[in-house]
């Protein structure tokens, strides 16, 4: 096994005090990092895209598992520490300094990478929505993403739950998300105010004949007025009330009771 200095020493030597503006909450526990790295499965020889490696705790675990990692990090202070890590795993790490929201990483891969990230939640959610809106089947093989627990709950929520909404439908209509691991706030340095969880998402075949844009228009309208009956909230969408009727969905129901399959069926009728 490659001998590396403790992460805390790397951080001290490179002066990587956690920046609040960049949403930096670092993980140091090698066991925990190893468990997160292994969530997608066997990584020997696999391509992995890591967003926000920071001082490289998760990157170490991914490299140690044999992955070929491409990492995008916005904080240039972290680059020298990551370069050292790359030198310890020759040919396994490519680094890109930049804002992941402004970079299209797809052309960097020959196959379909696993994507792994521990990001500030606003950046993580924006990237997630982009990855879930990709052309299907997507260019990535799986997503393993740390979120604050409340966002993780919204991704995996079932109908009837308060957390069920647009994000749940987007995440579930053609992929399967699950909470792979709750992570206590005390695992981070500095600890954030709230608990976290790692979400794992794998893509499925998309249901035939459904346009994502139609599904999004539908869920935006339905959940935009989630306390209202569907006949009210969907009134402005041409053909929506007829589609509800054709699917046998009672128009007095509210959005939070409508299953993902029901939204898909209505969106299919509007997608012609
Ligand atoms: N992966 C490390 C760990 O688990 O200890 C660091 C996690 S820290 C929560 C988030 C990291 O994402 C920081 O290193 C931060 O600089 C980086 N980051 C924040 N916004 C980013 C962006 N838009 N693009 C790329 N990296 C970003």
Question: Which residues have C-beta within 8 Å of that of residue 213, sequence separation ≥ 6?
Answer: none
Q: Flag whether 170 is in a domain.
A: yes
Query: What ipTM does this complex have?
Result: 0.99
b/e code 101-136 from CB counts within 10 Å (16+ = b):
eeeebeeebeebbbbbbbbbbebbbebbeebbeeee
Q: For 136-192, what is each residue's pLDDT tens digit?
A: 999 999 999 999 999 999 999 999 999 999 999 999 999 999 999 999 999 999 999
What pLDDT does residue 3 have? 79
Q: Does 204 count as an annotated binding residue? A: no
Length of the chain: 272
Best mutation site among 22, 77, 194 for ligand 1, i.e. most ligand atoms within 8 A of its Cβ? 22
Indicate whether 132 and 242 sit together in one domain: no
Q: Ligand 1 — pocket residues by CB below 6 A?
A: 22-27, 51-54, 57-58, 72-75, 78, 99-101, 118-120, 123
247 in Cβ contact with 264 (< 8 Å): no
Residue 2 lies in a domain: no
Peptide bond into 137 cis (omega under 30): yes
Q: What is the mean pLDDT of the chain?
A: 96
Listed residue (51, 56, 212, 39) closest to 142, CA to CA: 39
Write down the pLDDT at residue 272. Answer: 79
Could you tell me if 61 and 89 lie in one domain?
Answer: yes
Give yes or no: residues 163 and 191 share one domain.
Answer: yes
Which of 162, 178, 203 delimits the end of a domain? 203
The domain boundary, picked from 203, 227, 256, lies at 203
Count of structural domains, the chain? 2
Domain range enclosing 241: 212-270
Nearest to 251 by CA among 231, 232, 225, 271: 231
- By most ligand atoms within 8 Å of CB, the mutation choice from 102, 119, 181, 191 for ligand 1 is 119
Regarding whether 139 and 104 lie in a shared domain, the answer is yes
Main-chain dihedrals φ then ψ at residue 129, nearest 5 degrees: -60, -40
Q: Are residues 149 and 32 part of one domain?
A: yes
Q: Which helix (H) or strand (E) holds 35?
A: helix 30-37
Q: 7, 56 in Cβ contact below 8 A?
A: yes
Structure tokens at 83: 């370069």
User: Which ligand 1 atom is nearest residue 99's CA?
Assistant: 24
3-state secondary structure of 272: coil
Q: Whose CA is nearest to atom 11 of ligand 1?
A: 52
Residues 164 and 216 in one domain: no
- On whether both 57 and 139 belong to a single domain, the answer is yes
Specify whether the CB–CB gap between 96 and 70 falls below 8 A.
yes
**Residues 154 and 163: beta-carbon distance below 8 Å:** yes
Tell me, yes or no, whether 58 and 175 share the same domain.
Answer: yes
Ligand-binding annotation for 150, yes or no, is no
pLDDT at 128 > cutoff 60: yes
120, 16: one domain: yes
Residue 1 placed within a domain = no
Among residues 146, 176, 203, the one where a domain terminates is 203
Residues 179 and 221 in one domain: no
pLDDT at 2: 66
Report how far residue 72's alpha carbon sits from residue 86's, in angstroms, rounded to the nearest whole number.
13
pTM across the whole model: 0.97
Does the residue 26 lie in any domain?
A: yes
Answer yes or no: do 23 and 142 share one domain: yes
DSSP letter at 227 equals T
**Does 145 share its domain with 261?**
no
Nearest alpha-carbon partner for 93 in 131, 148, 56: 56
Say which CATH number the domain at 101 has.
Answer: 3.40.50.150
- pLDDT value for 121: 87
The number of the ligand 1 atom at minimal distance from the alpha carbon of 75 is 16
């Amino acid at each position: 096994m490659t001998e590396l200095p403790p992460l805390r020493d790397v951080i001290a030597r490179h002066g990587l005090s956690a920046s609040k503006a960049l949403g930096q909450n670092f993980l140091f526990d090698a066991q925990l990092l190893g468990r997160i790295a292994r969530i997608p499965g066997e990584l020997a020889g696999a391509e992995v895209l890591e967003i926000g490696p920071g001082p490289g705790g998760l990157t170490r675990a991914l490299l140690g598992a044999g992955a070929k990692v491409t990492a995008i990090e916005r904080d240039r202070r972290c680059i020298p520490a990551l370069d050292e890590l790359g030198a310890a795993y020759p040919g396994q790490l490519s680094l890109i300094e930049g804002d992941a929201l402004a970079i299209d990483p797809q052309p960097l891969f020959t196959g379909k990478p696993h994507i792994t990230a521990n990001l500030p939640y606003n950046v993580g959610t924006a990237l997630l929505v982009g990855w879930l809106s990709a052309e299907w089947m997507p260019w990535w093989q799986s997503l393993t993403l740390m979120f604050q627990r409340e966002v993780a709950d919204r991704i995996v929520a079932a109908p009837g739950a308060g957390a069920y909404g647009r994000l749940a439908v987007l995440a579930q209509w053609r992929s399967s998300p699950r909470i792979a691991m709750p992570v206590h706030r005390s695992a981070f340095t500095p600890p954030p105010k709230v608990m976290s969880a790692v979400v794992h998402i794998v893509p499925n075949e998309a249901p035939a004949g459904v346009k994502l844009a139609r599904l999004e228009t539908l869920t935006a309208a339905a959940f935009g007025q989630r306390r209202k009956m569907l006949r009210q909230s969907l009134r402005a969408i041409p053909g929506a009330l007829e589609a509800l009727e054709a699917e046998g969905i009672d128009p007095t129901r509210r959005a939070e009771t409508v299953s993902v399959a029901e939204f898909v069926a209505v969106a299919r009728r509007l997608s012609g």
